[in-house]
Amino acid sequence: MFAPVVAEKLKYYVYRLIDPRNGETFYVGKGRGNRVFAHIRAEQNLEGDRLENKLTRIHQIRLAGFEVAHVIHRHGMDERTAFEVEAALIDAYPGLTNIVGGHHGNDFGTMHADEIVRRYAAEPAVFKHKALLISVNKSSAETSPYEATRYAWKISKVKAEQADVILAIVQGLIVAAFVADEWLEATEENFPGREPVPGRWGFVGREAPTEVRNLYVGKQVPDEYRRPGASNPIKYTWTGNITPDTAEPAVFRHRALLISVNRSAAENSLYEATRYAWKISKSNAEEAEVILATVQGVIVGAFVAEQWLEATAESFPGREERPGRLGFIGHEAPDEVAELYVDKRVPDELRKRGAANPIKYSWSTKPRLFSRESR
């Protein structure tokens, strides 16, 4: 472990975990303090089928009588720089056990020079329809654009059916446009020859009319739909369609800290709006397994906090100091976690009449509420 004086000097850093049996880098991460050692502690506390790929690898290394090698690849950075260095390293080391790519990994990852020219020379799309944007970075090379786009997504059927056009996205560029005639459950009966994916949806449709394709194909996705930390492949160009009246209630399978970001969501990225700065008990916050951002009673984002820190300019460069408050450093929750909660409504028992406080805990029968000063 790093002594406090060492951790202070390191600031934000990017690290690699290396398998000493063959010298292979199997995980790239970023953090501060003793984050680089947190995976070892996690492996010691988990067993059986709860072990994810990274922890399974660590477990195997330890069973073989070795210890994971830790390398600090670069340190002394601010958080934004650390995100970018992490993403670059993830691109440089194929076959990692990281659940998702690095920060901006989908849109800013490895590309041929010609792809970069096409993308950045393209004009941004101007949406004249309700467009459902689907990132098909991973599957587009394996099948046709239509097959890659139509199957199978964790999505609200109600909201998907409101889309006028479905746009396929590859690394920030719109490559195809389709019209969905019908959204169906992702079963073998509905999609013969495709592997069933419970809880997901696909569509039966066709290529969009020429005049619609001409509006969008070959254009780049505007920056406002590519916010920092957004690894979810689904984005909507219209808002306000999922409401507490139309969304199904969330069923909590994790200790979830719910944060209402009604006021600040329009002014910042969802991550920035959610992580700073709250009047909250640090010990309570650290118990949370997932942080859920809510707007008007609907869950709109899911994050994992790696570290809770005092809301100071030193801990959060560029942010106004908020004495007595805390913020977190973290990342977007894995897709399988986000899919459980995003676009679901906050259950009624956590939305009591007159409860104006923005913080709620899912694991308490009487949630402890802490207010935040008006922005």
pLDDT of 339 > 60? The answer is: yes
Percent of the chain with pLDDT over 90: 35
Q: pTM above the 0.75 mark?
A: no
Per the CB < 8 A criterion, the answer to whether 178 and 160 are in contact is no
Amino acid letter at 252?
F
Retrieve residue 241's tokens.
Answer: 């369609």
pLDDT of 122 > 70? The answer is: yes
CA atoms within 13 A on the CB side of 227: 19
Region of poorest pLDDT, from 245-249, 328-332, 344-348: 245-249
Could you give phi then psi for residue 307, rounded to 5 degrees? -160, 135
Number of H helices, E strands in the chain: 12, 13
55-94 pLDDT, tens digit each: 777 877 876 677 888 899 899 998 888 888 888 888 787 6
162-185 pLDDT, tens digit each: 899 999 998 788 989 999 999 999
Handedness of CA 281, 4, 99, 267 (dihedral sign): positive
CB atoms within 10 A of CB 309: 19
Per the CB < 8 A criterion, the answer to whether 279 and 370 are in contact is yes
Which of 31, 196, 28, 160 minimizes the C-alpha distance to 101?
28
> What local confidence, expressed as pLDDT, does residue 357 receive?
82
